Amino acid sequence: MLGLTLSHYKITGKLGTGGMGVVYDADDLRLPRKVALKFLPDELADDKDAVRRFAREASTIALLSHPNICTIYDVDTHEGRQFIAMERLDGVTLKIVMARQDLELSRLLDIGRQITAALGAAHARGVVHRDIKPGNVMVADDGHVKVLDFGLARQFRMPGSNTIGLEGSTIPGRPLGTANYMAPERILQLPLDPRSDLFSLGVILYEMATGRLPFAGASPSDTVTNVLDREPEPITTLAPDRPASLEHVVMRLLAKRAADRYQSAEHLADALARVEIPPSTLATRLLRRLRPAR
């Protein structure tokens, strides 16, 4: 693909490959900007369900306009394969950020607030992301956060509207997504609910705070059992320097029943704003560095 010109985009490099897409670096030949071009992987090019999800990703992102959500510019085809032209993001995924360093509380909260803002914007337009995880969150060098990869997103019925029905997974019996970050209702394939995205964000906050996943098991089935039936170890046990107020917010997000969580991104944003940031000390920084690796 290197050097090819597709429509008015010239491919200059490969950015990465994931389960739902191959992303290339490209120059927009009409406008002075870099873009990212996303294709389905070769092995999914003839998968009708994957093609449908890919097209839905483009139409879903087109509904959304927010500083913390990756912007889509165009949808086109090349040799019969559809591709999405989107904002070229500088930075690394949150997964890489967490692997490189322990996060100070202020930065953890800032990232959490920005993801919350993105989810609030999506939910306000009737969109549930359904795959919130560190690999789908980009963090720029200046700390700006962008949520991306809406390939599993679905629309849900807005209050007072009958235009969009509640829907479950596209494949009965097999929920799509990453088990470690799935809410119980997602695993059980219950009707769509934006509060499932908040559960996934709770898992991310827990992981940022402790360096561990709250429900990880020895096998995928163990992980599913943990999500459905077990409570995670308290944050303050694993990371004593983290404030109890943060633990309270995260544990509420990880409630098994959606009704016991924060009921909207706006409510969560208010709660995160109330988390105290205690003075940083050398002792607490040393404690975190000595914490066993996950």
DSSP state letter for 18: E
In a 3-state reduction of DSSP, which class is residue 56? helix
DSSP state letter for 85: E
- Both tokens of 139, joined, read 């963090």
Contact 145, 137 (CB under 8 A): yes
In a 3-state reduction of DSSP, which class is residue 48? helix
Contact 78, 227 (CB under 8 A): no
End-to-end CA distance of the chain: 38
Amino acid (1-letter code) at residue 7 = S
- Output the CA torsion sign for 115, 118, 97, 182: positive
Q: Give the catalytic positions in this structure.
A: 141
